[in-house]
Amino acid sequence: MRARRRSPPYSRSSFWSLLRQYGRVPRQLLPSLATLALLVAVAGCGGGGATRSTGVPAAARPSASDRPGPPPPVGAGSPTPDTHRVFPVAGKADYGRSHHDYPATDIFAPCGARVRSPVDGVILEVSRTDRFDIARPLGADKGGLSVSIRGDDGVRYYGAHLATIAPAISTGVRVRPGTELGLVGQTGNASHVCHLHFGLSPVCAGTGDWWVRRGVVFPWRYLDSWRAGGNLSPVDEVAAWQRDHGCPSAPRSGER
C-alpha cells in the first residue's frame, strides 16, 4: 500500500506563486487561506496595529478616561467630587459683605441657633471658657467660646462667640458637614449681639496663632454658595494668601 504523501507547508510566497501558476486556489490551501483570513480580520479590529493582550476582554477593560490619575496635592485646586460643604448656622441667619479690621464674616442669628461644621475635618482647637475682659481685651480671648477645624481640604474653619460647645467636640475629634459644634451666643467681644464670627485661614501653626485663625480672606461669597446648596471652595484663595504672606509668627504691630 502506497503511503499518502503529506502536503508540504506553504509559505506566503509559495501561495502567491501557485495562484499565478494555476489561476485559482489549490484545494489543499483552502484551510490555510481560511485561517489567514480569520487572523487578518481579528487583527483589523484593533484599528491601530499590534497591541499587547491584557488578559481582560476589551469590553471589560477601562478606557484611558476611566482610569484614576495621580491624586491632587493636599490643599490644592478644586475640591474632589465627594467634598461637601454646608452653611455653618442652621435656620434663619444673615450676614454682610464687610468686617472691621480684617477679613471675616459675622453671621447674625438668634442666640441658641445651632452652629455646625461646614466641612469634613478634624477639630484643632476648642475654647470652652470665656476669658474676655473688656478692661484688658487680649486678641487670644476675643473669640470667647470658639472652635477651629482643619478641613480635609487643608483650610482652617473658625467659629467664635458661641454660647455653648457640644459635649462631643474636643481636639482631635473628626467631624462631618453638619456635625453640631455648639450654639450661637455672644461670648468674647461680641458686644452683646448674638452672632457667629466665621473665619477662613491656612492651618499654619494650627493652635495659638489667633491673628491668623480669626480670618485672612472674606468668606461671604463662599457662604452665599453653601447656603444656596453649592460647594464653592475657598482652597485656592486661602492658598494664594499663604503664598503671599506665609504664616506670620506674631500679630501686626499694635495688635494684641
* pLDDT on residue 151: 97
CB of 161 within 8 A of CB of 190? Answer: yes
More confident call, 139 vs 7:
139
Q: Give the integer Cα–Cα distance in Å for 121 and 154.
A: 9
* pLDDT on residue 82: 57
CB of 105 within 8 A of CB of 218? Answer: yes
User: To the nearest whole number, what is the mean pLDDT of the chain?
Assistant: 79
Report all structural domains of the chain as residue ranges with CATH numbers, in order of start. 11-43 (no CATH), 94-245 (2.70.70.10)
pLDDT band at residue 155 under the 50/70/90 scheme? very high
C-alpha cell read off for 238? 486661602
Neighbours of 46 (CB within 10 A): 10
CB of 154 within 8 A of CB of 75? Answer: yes
pLDDT band at residue 255 under the 50/70/90 scheme? confident
Q: Is the pLDDT of residue 71 over 70?
A: no
Q: What percent of the chain has pLDDT over 70?
A: 68
* pLDDT on residue 254: 77
DSSP secondary structure string for all residues of 9-68 = P--HHHHHHHHHHHSS--GGGHHHHHHHHHHHHHHHTTSSS-----SS-GGGSPPTTTS-
CB of 176 within 8 A of CB of 120? Answer: yes
More confident call, 50 vs 88:
88
SS3 content of the chain, % helix, strand, coil (to 5): 25, 20, 55
Contact residues for 183 (Cβ-Cβ < 8 A; gap 6+): 111, 112, 113, 114, 115, 162, 163, 164
Residue 46 has φ and ψ, to the nearest 5°, of -75, -25
The predicted model gives 205-216 an average pLDDT of 97
The predicted model gives 220-243 an average pLDDT of 97
For residues 169, 175, 180, 184, the Cα torsion angle rounded to the nearest 10 degrees is 80
* pLDDT on residue 36: 41
Q: Is the pLDDT of residue 64 over 70?
A: no
Q: Give the integer Cα–Cα distance in Å for 38 and 40.
A: 5
CB of 97 within 8 A of CB of 218? Answer: yes
The predicted model gives 204-225 an average pLDDT of 97
